[in-house]
Structure 1
Amino acid sequence: MGTATLKVDGMTCAHCARTVEKQLCSLPGIQAAEASFATGSVQVRFEGALPAREVLGGAVQRAGYRLIDEEQARRRDPASEQAKAARHELRMFALGLVLSAPVIAGHFIHLHEGWWDWATLGLAALLQLTVGATYYRGAWAGLRAGNLGMDVLVSIGMASGLFFGLLVTIFDWPLPQGIEKAVFHEAATLIAVFIRFGKYIEARARGQALGALRSLLELAPQQARLKDGRELPAAEVQVGDVIVVAAGERIAVDGRVIAGECDVDESLLTGESLPVVRKTGDAVRTGTFATNGRLEVEATAVGGTTALARITRMVEEAQQAKAPIQRFADRVSNLFVPAVVAVAVVSGGLWWLLSGMDTAAAMRAVTHTMAVLVIACPCALGLATPAAVMIGSGAALRRGLLVKNGAALEQIARARIFAFDKTGTLTLGRPEVTDVAWLGAPREEALALIAAVSRHPFSQALARRYGAASGAGGKAFELAGKGVIVSGGEELVFGTPALLAEQEIALPGELEREVERLRTLGDSVSLLAIEGEARTVVGFRDAVRPGTRESIGALREAGIHTVLISGDHDLAARRVGSEVGVDEVYGGVSPKGKLERIQSLRRQGLVAFVGDGINDAPALAQADVGVAVGGGSDVAKETGDLVLMRGEMSDVLLARELGRRTLRAIRQNLFLSLIYNTLGIPLAAGALVWAGVFLPPSFAALAMVLSDLSVAANSARLAAELRRLKGRT
Structure 2
Amino acid sequence: MSESNLVELNVTGMHCNNCALSVHKMLEKKGLKEVHVDFANEEVKFSNAGELNLDGIIKDIEGLGFKVYENEEIPQEGFFAKVENKFIFSLIFAVPLFSHMFLPFHWLHNPYIQLALCLPVFILGLSYFGKSAINSLRSGVPNMDVLIFIGFTSAFIYSLTGTVLNLGPDYMFYETTAVIITLVLLGNVFEKRSVSQTTSAIKDLLKYQQVKAIRLIGDEQEVIDSRMINSGDTLLVNTGEKIPADGDIIWGNASVNESLLTGESLPIEKNKYDSVIGGTVVEQGSIKILATKVGKHSVLSQIVEIMKRAQSSKPPIQRLGDRVAAIFVPVVVSIAVLTFVLSYLIFDVQLGESIMRSIAVLVISCPCAMGLATPTAVMVGLGRGAKQGVLIKGGATVEEMANLKYMVFDKTGTLTTGNFAVRDIQVFDLDMAEAKSLIVALESYSNHPIAKSLVAELESDKMKRFIFTEVNEVKGMGIKAIDADGNQYEIGSSKIVQPETDIDGFDVFLKKNDQLICKIAIEDELKPEAKNLIDLLKERKITPVLLSGDRKEKCEFVAQKLGIDTVYSEQRPEQKLQVIDSFKKKGTTAMVGDGINDAPALTTSDVGVSLGNASHIAIQSAKVILLNNDLNSVITLLKVGKHTLITIKQNLFWAFFYNIFAIPLAALGYLGPMLAALAMACSDVVVIGNSLRLKIKKLD
Secondary structure class of the residue paired with 1:219: helix
Comparing 219-228 and 51-60, the one that deviates more:
51-60
The answer to whether the aligner puts 1:701 opposite 2:677 as a matched pair is yes
Instruction: Report the more deviating stretch, 314-323 or 286-295.
Output: 314-323
2:190 counterpart of 1:201: yes
Matches within 5 A, 1:398-417: 398-417=387-406
Q: Quote the Cα distance in structure 2 between the aligned partners of 1:209 and 1:377.
A: 20
Question: Structure 1, residues 585-605: CA drift from partner, whole Å, max 9, x if none?
Answer: 112222222222222212222
- Residue 258 of structure 1 aligns to which amino acid in structure 2? I
Correspondence 1:260 to 2:252: yes
Partner Cα separation in structure 2 for residue 58 and residue 592 of structure 1 = 50
Distance in 2 (alpha carbons) for counterparts of 1:513 and 1:387: 66
Aligned with 2:590 (options 597, 605, 608) = 608
Compared with structure 1, are the counterparts of its residues 334 and 670 closer, same or farther at alpha carbon in structure 2 (3 Å cutoff)?
Answer: same
Measure, in 2, the Cα distance between the counterparts of 1:614 and 1:676: 50
Partners of 1:116 and 1:625 in 2: CA distance: 67
> Over residues 347-369 of structure 1, what are the superposed CA-to-partner deviations in whole Å (9 max), with x where a residue is unaligned?
2222233156xxx8554443332
- 1:628 and 2:622 correspond: no
1:388 to 371, 377, 388: 377
Alignment-derived partner of residue 181 in structure 1: 171
Aligned residue among 25, 37, 40 for 1:38: 40
Separation in 2, partners of 1:581, 1:4: 50
Structure 1 residues 24 and 107, CA, compared in 2 at 3 Å: closer, same or farther?
Answer: same
Q: Is residue 338 of structure 2 the alignment partner of residue 346 of structure 1?
A: yes
Verify the 8 A CA contact 1:524 1:541 in the aligned structure 2: no
Amino acid of the residue matched to residue 658 of structure 1? V
- The alpha-carbon deviation at position 492 of structure 1 amounts to 8.3
How far residue 569 of structure 1 moved from its aligned partner, in angstroms, is: 3.1
Q: Report sequence identity in percent.
A: 33
Bigger mean CA offset, 216-225 vs 256-265: 216-225
Q: Which residue of 1 aligns with 2:60?
A: 59
| Preserved CA contact (<8 Å) 1:41 1:320 | no
Q: Give the partner amino acid of 2:654.
A: L
Whether contact under 8 Å (1:677, 1:704) holds in the other structure is no
The equivalent of 2:362 in structure 1 is 373
Structure 1 residue 463: Cα displacement? 6.5
* Paired residue type of 2:395: G
Segment of structure 1 superposing worse, 130-139 or 285-294: 130-139
User: Which SS does the other structure have where 1:260 is aligned?
Assistant: strand
Q: Give the SS at the match of 1:291.
A: strand
Cα gap change, 1:379/1:586 in structure 2, threshold over 3 Å: closer, same or farther? same
Paired residue secondary structure (1:564): strand
Please say if residues 366 and 683 of structure 2, whose CA atoms lie closer than 8 Å, have aligned partners that are also in contact.
Answer: no
Asked if 2 retains the 8 angstrom alpha-carbon contact of 1:631 and 1:647, the reply is yes
For residues 47 and 325 of structure 1, what CA distance do their matches in structure 2 show? Answer: 29
Query: Which amino acid is the alignment partner of residue 544 of structure 1?
Result: L
User: What is the match of residue 16 of structure 1?
Assistant: 19
Where 1:224 maps in the other structure, the secondary structure is: strand
- Could you report, residue by residue, the CA deviation over 1:579-638 in whole angstroms, capped at 9, with x for unpaired residues? 111231112222222222222212222222211112222222222222111121111212
Letter of the 2:21 counterpart: R
Q: Distance in 1 between matches of 2:30 and 2:22?
A: 13
Q: Which moves more between the two structures, 607-616 or 193-202?
A: 607-616
Structure 1 CA distance for aligned equivalents of residues 563 and 10 of structure 2:
48
**Matched residue, 1:576:** 558
- In 2, are the aligned partners of 1:347 and 1:685 still within 8 Å (CA)? yes
Does structure 1 retain, via aligned residues, the 8 Å contact 2:108–2:114?
Answer: no
How far the C-alpha of 1:675 sits from its partner, in A, is 2.8
Structure 1 distance, partners of 2:545, 2:8, is 37
Contact 1:23 1:63 in 2 (8 A): no
Counterpart CA distance in 2 for 1:155 and 1:222 is 45
Partner of residue 97, structure 1: 91
Establish whether residue 567 from structure 1 lines up as the match of residue 543 from structure 2. Answer: no
Amino acid aligned to 1:283: S
Asked whether the equivalents of residues 155 and 176 of structure 2 are also in contact (C-alpha less than 8 Å), the reply is yes
Secondary structure at the counterpart of residue 197 of structure 2: helix
Read off the aligned partner of 1:23 and give its amino acid letter: M
The corresponding residue for 1:546 is: 528
**Where does residue 101 of structure 2 map in the other structure?**
107
Contact 1:522/1:575 (CA < 8 Å) preserved in 2? no
Contact 1:411 1:624 in 2 (8 A): yes
Of the three residues 123, 128, 136, the one matched with 2:122 is: 128
How much does 1:432 deviate? 7.0
Amino acid at match of 2:12: D
Matched AA of 2:552: D
Matched, 1:239 2:231: yes
2:307 is the counterpart of 1:306: no
Cα distance between partner residues in 2 of 1:698 and 1:409: 39
Note the C-alpha offset of 1:425.
0.9
One-letter code aligned to 2:310: A
Q: TM-score, normalised by structure 2?
A: 0.83
- Paired AA for residue 334 in structure 1: A
**In 2, Cα distance between equivalents of 1:190 and 1:58:** 33
Q: Deviations over 1:383-434 (max 9, x none)?
A: 2222222221222122111122122223212212222111211111235799
| Alpha-carbon distance in structure 2 between the residues aligned to 1:524 and 1:97 | 82
Count the aligned residue pairs.
640
Native 8 Å contact 2:97 2:108 kept in 1: no
Q: Distance in 1 between matches of 2:411 and 2:375?
A: 35
Alignment partners' CA distance in 2, 1:37 and 1:207 = 10
1:721 aligns to what? Answer: 697
Does the Cα contact within 8 Å between 2:419 and 2:453 map onto a contact in 1? no
Once residues 173 and 355 of structure 1 are traced to their aligned partners in structure 2, the CA distance between those partners, rounded to angstroms, is: 23
- Deviation of the 1:719 alpha carbon: 1.7
Aligned to 1:165: 159
Q: What secondary structure is seen at the aligned counterpart in 2 of 1:238?
A: coil
Distance 1:419 1:86, change over 3 A: farther
Q: Give the alignment partner of residue 314 of structure 2, picking from 305, 313, 322.
A: 322
Q: Does 1:219 align with 2:213?
A: no
Matched residues in 1 for 2:581 and 2:124: separation? Answer: 57
Shift in Å at residue 121 of structure 1?
A: 2.2
Q: Which runs of 5+ in 1 are unaligned?
A: 437-443, 453-458, 468-489, 496-506, 526-536, 687-692
Q: Distance in 1 between matches of 2:677 and 2:604?
A: 46
Match of 2:489 in 1: none
Question: What residue number does 1:657 align with?
Answer: 639
Question: What residue in structure 2 maps to residue 155 of structure 1?
Answer: 149
Aligned-residue CA RMSD (Å): 3.5
2:663 alignment counterpart: 681
Alpha-carbon shift at residue 238 of structure 1 (Å): 1.9
The code of the aligned residue for 1:702 comes to L
Q: Which SS does the other structure have where 1:632 is aligned?
A: coil
Q: Secondary structure at the match of 1:568?
A: coil
Distance 1:696 1:378 in 2: 19
Larger gyration radius, structure 1 or structure 2: 2
Higher mean alpha-carbon deviation, 296-305 vs 126-135, is at 126-135
